[in-house]
Amino acid sequence: MRVLAFVMAFVGVVSPVFASINMADVSCGRPQTRVGRIKNGEDAYPGEFPWLVSIRVAGPGSAHFCGGSLIHKRFVLTAAHCVHANLPRYLVVVAGEHDLSSKGQEPEQILGVSDIISHSNYSKRYINDIALLKLSEDAVWSRFVRPVCLPDKQVDGPNDPLDGKPVTVAGWGNTDEAKNNGKLSDILQKVTVEVQPRAKCEDWYHQEVGRPVALYDTHLCAGLEEGGKDSCQGDSGGPLLISDNQGRLVNVGVVSNGIGCGRPRVPGLYTRVSRYIDWISEKIKAFGVA
């Protein structure tokens, strides 16, 4: 399971052709509070990423194991590998979270899960690694609980406008690989990395890992050639973010997988959300949720 080891800095890059979609009934992608350990990341401000949720096993003593993003008051976007083998009654989603050690305190909202909708063509090779969680009750919008925007499905093309752009990832994942004594961060972390062209990413992986790695147009590759900043264990399902042309943060990727955390020329791999906009819309409409 891929978990982010760092958190990215707030992304202010704007693409002049970048459009976004709002699936919710309030404005999306705008923190309502001041903006400000993923591997070599920094603390996020409370409310800086109000769509980010902690996915946990239900029951006493449950612990964070994956992230996700509120895209609607009843739906969380996450990675299929986080949830496909679970039953809804065994999961809870915690919205409004910032410090994992402060359990049950405001502004946390602990929300049950009524349905797990994994992509029907999800593969354990992390293809179509995307899922929705339908909540058993509405998330209540507040300064600390807000939805994220989604990318327009036409944003990507042969000349990918995301290539070379700095993007932000956030989560409570390990601060480094286990062999380096990495552990989950209590405080939400953020870090900035760069989207790498698919061909370059495949070449880096081949050179560093010693075997070919085939990426698809449903993947995003984001990291730094020198390494050092990356997602890690515990960040899976969380968002990869960029600003649209109105300054709203857009969830362009879902933390999926990778090798190690922050290794040089071994970027993290993300599910490209723009390829699944129709799927997301269809699944939400199928439940008749307004």
Amino acid at 197: P
- Angle at CA of residue 67, ends 169 and 271, nearest 5°: 60
Q: Comparing C-alpha atoms, which of 217, 164, 219 is closest to residue 193?
A: 164
Amino acid at 188: L
Token pair in block for residue 13: 């890059």
From CA 147, how far away is CA 145, in angstroms rounded? 7
Share in percent of the chain as helix, strand, coil (round to 5):
10, 30, 55
Tell me 94's DSSP state.
E
Residues designated as active site: 81, 129, 236
Torsion of CA 115, 119, 120, 123, to 10 degrees: -120
Three-state secondary-structure class, residue 248? coil
- Angle at CA of residue 147, ends 23 and 58, nearest 5°: 110
Q: E-assigned strands of the chain?
A: 20-21, 42-43, 52-57, 64-72, 75-78, 91-95, 109-118, 131-135, 150-151, 166-171, 189-196, 219-223, 239-243, 249-257, 268-272
The terminus-to-terminus CA distance of the chain in angstroms comes to 33
Q: Comparing C-alpha atoms, which of 156, 169, 161 is closest to residue 273?
A: 156
